[in-house]
């Protein structure tokens, strides 16, 4: 089947399970954010393996389940896990997922990830709203788009109005929320101290191995993007801690409840 056929089949399966009121908000969960899925009420689960446009996942902390229900009183689709470009070298590995969301009429993609801090003042356990990104990898998921269809503006890639709403929600809830620029690196190896110094010079406050390809795809599909990073470690050279994926998940688990509460509050306050 072609990607278009896979997307159509996946969208139809989700429509049949969701009923007439399809959510306009999708939440894509990164490592350590499973508490958001746990907070969904009236949950209906669809494993990714039942959706032909969705990839099979191979990284710990990514369940591979699409959950339909309500979060903060809002109808949502919560996607537990993503496939990363570092698993295949393909920046477009999540294209079928984002195209399916767009085919279902999704208007807002709220992304989450685990990231390393480049700012000594932003410690592990902090939450950072992404204001912009650096595509350090300089790869795009749009290479195979037809002719002029591959061009999309990335100005305000992370929607300013949604960011303002998120900050207002966090302030009302008394939850600290940083904001900064996220640098996407390919991985899967962690960065060297020299690379971290380079990213600091370029103006990044956090670094990670995801999110940017999905943002490009979502913007290309006309969706609005909001993204949150859970800071799980200080970047290489900024502390003596040993970096590993296990350490990322362990640190994320300690902040999971706080992070999930903020996402639920943000979703509840979203005005579309």
Residues annotated catalytic, as ranges? 31, 62, 84, 86-87, 114, 209-210, 233, 245
Distance CA 32, CA 213 (A): 20
Q: How many other β-carbons are positioned within 10 Å of the β-carbon of residue 58?
A: 12
Q: How far apart, in whole angstroms, are the C-alpha atoms of residue 197 and residue 203? A: 10
- How far apart, in whole angstroms, are the C-alpha atoms of residue 185 and residue 150? 22
If you write DSSP's letter for every residue of 17-75 in order, what string do you get? HH-S---SEEEEE-TT-HHHHHT-EEEEEEEGGG-TTSPPP-STT---EEEEEEETTEE
CA–CA distance, 15 with 77 (Å, rounded to integer): 11
């Amino acid at each position: 089947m072609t990607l278009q056929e896979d997307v159509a089949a996946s969208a139809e399966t989700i429509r049949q399970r969701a009923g007439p009121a399809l959510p306009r908000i999708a939440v894509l969960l990164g490592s350590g954010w499973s508490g958001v899925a746990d907070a969904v009420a009236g949950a209906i689960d669809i494993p990714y393996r039942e959706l032909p446009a969705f990839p099979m996942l191979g990284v710990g902390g990514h369940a591979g389940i699409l959950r339909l229900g309500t979060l903060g009183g809002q109808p949502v689709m919560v996607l537990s896990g993503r496939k990363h470009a570092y698993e295949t070298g393909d920046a477009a590995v999540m294209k079928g997922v984002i195209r399916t969301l767009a085919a279902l009429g999704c208007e807002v993609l709220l992304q989450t990830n685990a990231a390393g801090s480049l700012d000594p003042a932003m410690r592990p356990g902090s939450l950072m709203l992404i204001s912009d990104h650096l595509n350090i990898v300089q790869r795009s998921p749009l290479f195979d788009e037809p002719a002029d269809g591959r061009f999309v503006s990335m100005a305000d890639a992370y929607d300013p109005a949604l960011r303002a709403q998120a900050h207002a929600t966090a302030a009302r809830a008394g939850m600290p929320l940083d904001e900064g620029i996220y640098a996407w690196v390919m991985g899967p190896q962690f960065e060297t101290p020299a690379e971290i110094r380079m990213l600091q010079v370029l103006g990044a406050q956090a670094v990670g191995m995801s999110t940017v390809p999905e943002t490009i795809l979502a913007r290309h599909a006309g969706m609005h993007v909001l993204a949150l990073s859970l800071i799980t470690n200080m970047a290489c050279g900024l502390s003596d801690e040993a970096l590993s994926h296990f350490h990322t998940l362990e640190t994320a688990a300690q902040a999971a409840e706080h992070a999930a509460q903020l996402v639920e509050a943000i979703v509840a306050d979203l005005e579309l």
